[in-house]
Amino acid sequence: MALGTLLAGLLFGGLLLTGWLYLIQDRLLYFPISDLAGDPGQLGLEFEDVWLTTADGERLHAWYLPHPQARGALLFLHGNAGNISHRLDSLAIFHRLGLATLIIDYRGYGKSSGTPSEHGTYLDADAGWQHLVTARGFSPRQIVLFGRSLGGAIAAHAAVEHRPAALIIESTMSSVADFAAELYPWLPARQLTRHVYPAVDTVAAYPGPLLVAHSPDDEIVPYHHAARLLAAAGDRGQQLNLRGGHNDGFLVTGEAYVAGLDTFLTDVLPQ
């Protein structure tokens, strides 16, 4: 009787934990910050404040950084934490590489309206793409989609929809469901995941050139996620190994990172 009571209690506790994780998973996935910590002008970069309207009516804040001799345009889709002001180092790198750059804050991030969701972030990326094409006059073959961490899954989805010149994904998980199953192996994590972000599937469906950048020392998204993405891409995929952790790999890698991006961009953008 005591054993049965114990087992029933454990089962009930497990169900409570499972239900709690299901209900709060938005807070486990999205970590937006409203206040901006700075702007590109602090690095001497010219920029414009831009406001975009999504297909479902949300208002997104973005920065557009022009380049006087742009070799192409880059749509920057950042990770799941912070906001656009926490990506100034990357904006400086992309400017150095000769790219006009549009970086957007997803719904619920920074000054953008709304609440983040998987479908919502896809619509946000679409709004960024449309701005580069319609307001800035870039053709799809001049645009590179770049996504870091969770942004890589969003960029991959946009790449299937819009067929850019190329796709770059950095420190990205093969899917949130894969990541959750590894993080919570004792739970039916795949079945509970509401925001799946199946990057491995969208990468497989994307027919264009792909660069996967990842560090073997990534302490958040294990390196084998990059291997899955490269396997899904087949011979369309190229690899750029980084050094350092999940959030600073591109900085720790330094000039080798910049050179790797430059080589890839030279191959995929019209001269």
Structural domains in the chain, CATH included, are 25-268 (3.40.50.1820)
Phi, psi torsion values for 166, nearest 5 degrees: -165, 165
DSSP state of 264: H
Amino acid at 235: D
Question: Are 114 and 68 contacting, i.e. CB atoms less than 8 angstroms apart?
Answer: no
pLDDT confidence of residue 7: 45
Distance (Å, whole) CA 112 – CA 59: 6
Q: Residue 195: how many CB atoms within 10 A of its CB?
A: 22
Torsion, Cα 166 92 260 159, to 10 degrees, reads -20
pLDDT confidence of residue 84: 99
Cα–Cα distances (Å) from 270 to 71, 72, 140, 264, 267, in that order, read 8, 8, 11, 12, 8
Which residues of the chain fall below pLDDT 50? 1, 6-17, 20
Distance (Å, whole) CA 199 – CA 174: 5
Distance (Å, whole) CA 178 – CA 223: 13
pLDDT confidence of residue 221: 97
Closest CA to 225 of 233, 234, 214: 214
Three-point CA angle 71, 139, 122, nearest 5°: 105
pLDDT confidence of residue 16: 47
The pTM assigned to this predicted structure is: 0.91
pLDDT confidence of residue 18: 52
Distance (Å, whole) CA 46 – CA 179: 38
pLDDT confidence of residue 97: 98
pLDDT confidence of residue 8: 47
